[in-house]
């Protein structure tokens, strides 16, 4: 009576090791350039905090305006949301040598721009943000107060 042993062949084990090597090389290269992802995550953070600002402005029961601030320092983009004396959200997003452009002007360190949301959540006009590193990531803050990841339409 013969017992049959089951398991992986040497060829199957080598193929798995080769596949793991290829996947780790691809995955490692994705994280070796953090500026590629910092611009994208910063755009998404700004879009999220803008949505919060819009919701706060529409739910505004007092007379205090909702103010969104966007700034940068040496290492971070800074996003803040205030209504009167209350601070609702402050977020930091790492820059990793990526740049922010607002309506064609490149942000400098220490620069802060503020956007006031009216009671109908409008901000008055369109604002075009471009977070750039290896690729550009656009965000439009429309006059209506809605932010979407694209180029502003006239």
CA distance 23 to 103: 40
User: What angle (nearest 5°) sits at the alpha carbon of residue 133, between those of residues 127 and 67?
Assistant: 30
Other CB atoms within a 10 A radius of the CB of residue 47 amount to: 17
> Rounded to whole angstroms, how far apart are CA atoms 99 and 133?
7
52-80 b/e with 16+ CB inside 10 Å = b?
bbbebbeebeeeeebbbebbbeeebbebb
pLDDT values of the chain reduced to their tens digit, one per residue, 154 residues: 677 777 788 888 889 898 888 888 777 665 666 666 788 889 999 999 999 999 999 987 667 889 999 999 989 999 999 998 889 889 999 988 889 999 999 999 999 999 999 989 999 999 999 999 888 999 999 999 999 999 998 7
Q: What is the pLDDT of residues 16-52, one digit of tens each?
A: 898 888 888 777 665 666 666 788 889 999 999 999 9
């Amino acid at each position: 009576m013969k017992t049959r042993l089951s398991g992986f062949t040497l060829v199957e084990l080598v193929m798995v090791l080769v596949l793991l090597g290829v996947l780790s090389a691809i995955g490692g290269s994705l994280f070796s350039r953090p500026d590629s992802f910092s611009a994208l995550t910063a755009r998404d953070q700004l879009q999220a905090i803008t949505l919060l600002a819009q919701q706060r402005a529409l739910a505004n029961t007092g007379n205090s305006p909702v103010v969104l601030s966007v700034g940068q320092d040496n290492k971070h983009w800074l996003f803040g949301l205030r209504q009167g004396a209350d601070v609702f959200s402050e977020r930091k997003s790492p820059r990793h040598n990526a740049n922010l452009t607002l309506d064609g002007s490149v942000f400098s360190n220490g620069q802060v721009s503020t956007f006031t949301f009216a009671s109908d959540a409008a901000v008055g006009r369109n604002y075009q943000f471009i977070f750039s590193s290896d690729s550009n990531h656009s965000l439009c803050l429309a006059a209506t107060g809605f932010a979407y990841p694209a180029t502003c339409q006239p």
